[in-house]
Amino acid sequence: MPDKSNLQQMDALLTKLKENQPGTAVVRKKITGAEVLLQCLVAEKVQTIFGYPGGAIMPVYDALYHYADKLNHILVRHEQGAIHAAQGFARASGLPGVVFATSGPGATNLVTGLADALIDSTPVVCITGQVFAHLLGTDAFQETDVVNTTIPVTKWNIQVAEAKDIPAAVAKAFFIATTGRPGPVLIDITKNAQNEIIEAFDYVPCQGISTYRPKPALQFSQVDEALALIKNAKKPYILAGQGVLLSNASEALVAFSEKTGIPVACTLLGLGCFPTDHPNYVGYLGMHGNYAPNVLTNECDVLIGIGMRFDDRVTGNVQKYARQAKIIHIDIDKAEINKIIKVTTFIHADAREALVALTEKSLPAKHTEWLSKFAALSTLEYDKVIKKDIGPDGELRMAEVIHKLSEMTEGKAIVVTDVGQHQMITSRYYKMKDPRTHITSGGAGTMGFSLPAALGAKLAIPGRQVVAVIGDGGFQMTVQELGTIMQYGIPVKILVLNNNFLGMVRQWQQLFHGKRYSFTEMQNPDFVKLAGAYSIRAAKVSERKNLDLALKEMLDSKESYFLEVVVGKEDNVFPMVPGGAGISDILLEEPKAS
């Protein structure tokens, strides 16, 4: 269970969420559309905006000049950095992230982040400038049809061509982004609408949309059907996903697991929703997850998926996935139910509401023998993989670094990872204790995510240690955001694990492509000098004897800090489910050559 201080932090965050509920705004004076927009954002309790100015959104930035006391704007170095920072802000706080960008390339630079936010259910409100309405469709300078471009990667979007329509668009955008299964939205505002002067406007937060039902009513008949399966189960098993975090259901999940005795494993995005030191926690699911939770998925008799998508990285070959089990799926998004894995029954509801109802009606139970199976396989994984990964022999390994980081921070830091081997290693070896302390790009797998997302998370939760864990490849994709960190003095810690390779691709090339390392080896710059050019304290470690002191110096710094750790060039991540294999075919070590 989270300790008292953690519960106090969670209560403080819930209070913050309540305080940030939108309010009405009534303005009775001549006002430009640009200022209308800013008044709406203030009414929505927005405090931080990540953005980059340009010609088509210049009226908004001109109006923003007078709102410095109400809206904190962070000038990023690239629009992709803006949306990833907004994602980090949203994932850490539970509040929507807000982004400004101009038309054309400014707007299209948001597309990667929008796709990332959509698949990972992150609430982000993007506001883009657009050319004058009379120029639409003429291929005017920096004109792009951003609405049609972003339809596939937004939960909802709209173009506004008149100032009077801005308040309703903003209200609807925030409502859609933050309710039900959260996601990104985009408002594209033409320049004439930003310049247009209107006499007055009323801002009323959106409370509902006739064609949109974000939160389904809990059906107790569905709860009873699930309970009937759980009651008779001998080997029940919970797979917990990010939906547990999004519905603030972590405590409810702990209560349900403790009452029923059911073991819990977490997906990549679900990490942190269940304490890693809880006796019922059995590990991390997925292609590079822990051995026991993967193998025993194919031995359980009742499988309960909560707020997760049965993603291919969790299921492996679906034809070999949990064929023996009766499956219960709890999800707020009905489109996810029966999409990949056919279920026995489901609860279409908010995860917290479903868990509370299940706990109230469940009978106390223990599954000691079943839990001991997880423990036995975990011991096997420790002996074959973990002991070597964190051991003091040979060259420095990624797992050793993350294991030490986890111990030094007691699993309490917000850890923001990029994509690749270091991401999987962090997911395995950093022991998250609290909700919203693990932030990564899951479904999209976006390299370059970590650095901007970490600065966004730090601005959202300034009182908490935030560590960006990045590979040398992903770091260089958004390295320019060191300038944002420098300009605003954001005390984020940056830990680059450098193996001079695109490590995850190299691992696959080694194991499945005859060690043909086709364009994955990297010649990198002097990262320490690069960080120094941005006035960020920096150090480099290549020997084990210097690691502890370097990590301590990084964590103790009151300012931003960059630490490069040189790790083994052919340091691989195991266990591993090979492509096309079933999850019980997971490898604990490199297969022997035939």
What residues are labeled active site?
79, 141-142, 191, 504
For residue 591, give the nearest of 504, 503, 512 by alpha carbon: 512
Measured CA to CA, the distance from residue 166 to residue 203 in angstroms comes to 9
326-331, strands of its sheet edge to edge: 281-284, 264-266, 236-240, 302-306, 326-331, 345-348
Are 166 and 40 in contact by the 8 Å Cβ rule? The answer is yes
- 3-state SS string for 425-467: HHHHHCCCCCCCCEECCCCCCCCCCHHHHHHHHHHHCCCCCEE
Residue 135 tokens, joined: 């120029």
**C-beta neighbour count of 189 within 10 angstroms:** 30
Measured CA to CA, the distance from residue 146 to residue 135 in angstroms comes to 14
Residue at token pair 């405590």: 251
E runs forming strands in 277-400: 281-284, 302-306, 326-331, 345-348
From residue 534, alpha-carbon distances to 322, 372, 479, 484 in Å are 51, 51, 11, 9
Q: Phi and psi at residue 465, in whole multiples of 5°?
A: -65, 130
Residue 195 tokens, joined: 């310049």
Measured CA to CA, the distance from residue 275 to residue 251 in angstroms comes to 10
Helical spans, DSSP H, in 478-519: 482-488, 503-512
Residue 323 tokens, joined: 């064929």
Q: Phi and psi at residue 66, in whole multiples of 5°?
A: -95, 5
Which long-range contacts link 308-313 to residues 24+ away (Cβ below 8 Å)?
308/239, 308/240, 308/241, 308/242, 308/243, 308/267, 308/270, 309/241, 309/336, 309/339, 309/340, 309/443, 310/336, 310/339, 310/340, 310/341, 311/267, 311/340, 311/442, 311/443, 312/340, 313/268, 313/286, 313/287
Measured CA to CA, the distance from residue 524 to residue 562 in angstroms comes to 16
Complete DSSP assignment for 9-69: HHHHHHHHHHHT----EEE-S-EEHHHHHHHHHHHTT--EEEE---GGGHHHHHHHTT-TT
From residue 177, alpha-carbon distances to 136, 154, 253, 290, 534 in Å are 27, 9, 25, 33, 35
